[in-house]
Amino acid sequence: MSKQDGSSRQVTTGPVDDSATPILHVDMDAFFVSVELLKRPELRGKPVLVGGTAGRGVVSAASYEARRFGVNSAMPMSVALQRCPNAIVLRGDYASYATYSKQVMGIFEQLTPLVEPLSIDEAFLDVSGARRLHGSPAEIAWTIRERVRAETGLTCSIGVAATKYVAKVASSRAKPDGMLVVPAAQTVEFLHPLPVSALWGVGRVTEESLLRLGLRTVGDVAAMPHDALERAVGPALAERLGRLANGIDPRDVHTTRTEKSIGHENTFGHDLVDPVEIRRELLRLANNVAVRLRKAGLVGRTVTLKLRYGDFRTVTRSRTLAEPTDVARRIYDEASDALGELIGDGERVRLIGVRAEHLRPSGGGAMLWDPDEEWRDAERTIDQVTAKFGTGAVRPATLVRPGGERRSERPSRGPDDDDAEAAAAGWGW
């Protein structure tokens, strides 16, 4: 049994058939803000934001009181304060967030070994094998909510369903501090009234395309002839949306997360115009991406450049390499070529990002001739020096600034990560 309140919130309130719903999606409620409120309980009930205030700071997280003013994660802080002038802004304490995340994930792992973390504050769980010890899926979800509250003082929302996609949708409908079980037999009934934006993979542009076709709900997409949907959004997306609209999602819960991409990006305090300065930052980003690749024992076959102009236009360009690489010089050269196609004289640049994609383990086979051999040897030597003497002990001369000034950037895991709080804090692109 479930009920829906005056908002879109929907929660399970009584007995329900959870016999075929072994997948849980657990999402912490306003995680960063909630951790801060443990230290500042006097701020409960007030509009609170976590994020940067200097220059072009963004909102990492917003309390539900602030969200009522239209404030969202990843929104520029200046815009957030215009919408909610009385908001209380706190700087993030990411070490604390990591500590609480580890504690919460530990609770999950005590109930089932099948835990797939998605970000610092959410995870999928498969509780198929935990029934004998801990009860039905709904009972396990209830136990998790109670233990998280008792052991951390935080709250979470949980979706319980037959598939990962439906469980994630259910947890979002149950927010804040709720649980929603979607019986397997009622999956389509649950999904079809929802707006098309509830479909995984439907962003603003795709949503606009679907709305122009008169498709406003998930049910509308399910009823759309496949060939017409394919003409509208392309064959790959049409196939995926058609399956999801009918509740079909064969993905299993994976206990190890394979990185699909590794990247870094910078949003600058002021727009960059000088081509030399822009390429210096590009080299810095390429260097940091290469270091992370080597640490992870990975190489990337594709290099992607992300560029945001001063007017907020955002473009990406990708280059596929003849051989995958973990060499900063190669990553920089490919990104630099792409950059040359995108900026002209006087072009103002607000953000630059570099990402390596199509990753695989390094050492997967020797090449007859390695054009990057000398650069690779040099960069691995720098890795060894850095490990001994610390980051910044050795770096390209181009990146050395007078007075030791250095820019900071945030790492990214790639566009698959759709968690705005994590993205704004550096856990996603």
What is the domain partition of the chain in residue ranges? 1-182, 192-245, 261-412
Q: Check pLDDT > 90 for residue 343.
A: no
**Confidence band of 387 (pLDDT split at 50, 70, 90):** low
pLDDT the model gives residue 406: 43
Instruction: Check if CATH label 3.40.50.970 holds for domain 261-412.
Output: no
Give CA–CA dist 292/379, Å, rounded. Answer: 12
Output 267 or 45, whichever has higher pLDDT.
Answer: 45
pLDDT the model gives residue 12: 92
Give CA–CA dist 245/193, Å, rounded. Answer: 10
Output 165 or 76, whichever has higher pLDDT.
Answer: 165
**Confidence band of 384 (pLDDT split at 50, 70, 90):** low
Instruction: Decide: helix, strand or coil at residue 411.
Output: strand
Contacts of 274 (CB under 8 A, 6+ apart): none
pLDDT the model gives residue 396: 55
The interaxial angle of helices 373-389 and 275-296, nearest 10 deg, is: 80
Q: Which residues are catalytic?
A: 122
Does the pTM exceed 0.85? no
Q: Cis omega (within 30 of 0) on the bond before 176? A: yes
pLDDT tens string 211-247 = 998 999 999 999 999 999 988 888 888 999 999 999 9
Range with lowest mean pLDDT among 51-60, 281-290, 333-342, 402-411: 402-411
Rg of the chain over all Cα atoms, to the nearest angstrom: 23
Give CA–CA dist 233/199, Å, rounded. Answer: 13
Q: Check pLDDT > 90 for residue 43.
A: yes
pLDDT the model gives residue 52: 79
- Tell me the backbone φ, ψ of residue 170, rounded to 5 degrees: -65, -40
CA 8 to chain centre: 24
β-pairing, 349-361 vs 298-309, is antiparallel
pLDDT the model gives residue 380: 63
Length of the chain: 429
pLDDT the model gives residue 369: 45
Q: Do the beta carbons of residue 65 and residue 46 sit within 8 Å?
A: yes
Residue with tokens 């719903």: 21
Instruction: Decide: helix, strand or coil at residue 392.
Output: coil
Q: Check pLDDT > 50 for residue 425.
A: no
**Confidence band of 422 (pLDDT split at 50, 70, 90):** very low
Give CA–CA dist 97/203, Å, rounded. Answer: 28
Closest CA to 161 of 140, 182, 175, 191: 182
**Confidence band of 423 (pLDDT split at 50, 70, 90):** very low
**Confidence band of 386 (pLDDT split at 50, 70, 90):** low
Give CA–CA dist 64/45, Å, rounded. Answer: 9
Output 399 or 268, whichever has higher pLDDT.
Answer: 268
pLDDT the model gives residue 201: 80
**Confidence band of 152 (pLDDT split at 50, 70, 90):** very high
Give CA–CA dist 221/243, Å, rounded. Answer: 10
Which ranges of 300-364 would DSSP assign to H, the alpha helix? 328-340
**Confidence band of 371 (pLDDT split at 50, 70, 90):** low
Q: Which CATH architecture has domain 1-182?
A: 2-Layer Sandwich (3.30)
CATH number of this structure's domain 192-245: 1.10.150.20
Query: Annotated binding residues, as ranges?
Result: 27, 121
Give CA–CA dist 182/166, Å, rounded. Answer: 8
Beta-bridged to residue 184, according to DSSP, are none
Give CA–CA dist 116/126, Å, rounded. Answer: 9
Q: Check pLDDT > 70 for residue 155.
A: yes
- Tell me the backbone φ, ψ of residue 384, rounded to 5 degrees: -65, -40
pLDDT the model gives residue 141: 97
pLDDT the model gives residue 204: 80
pLDDT the model gives residue 121: 93
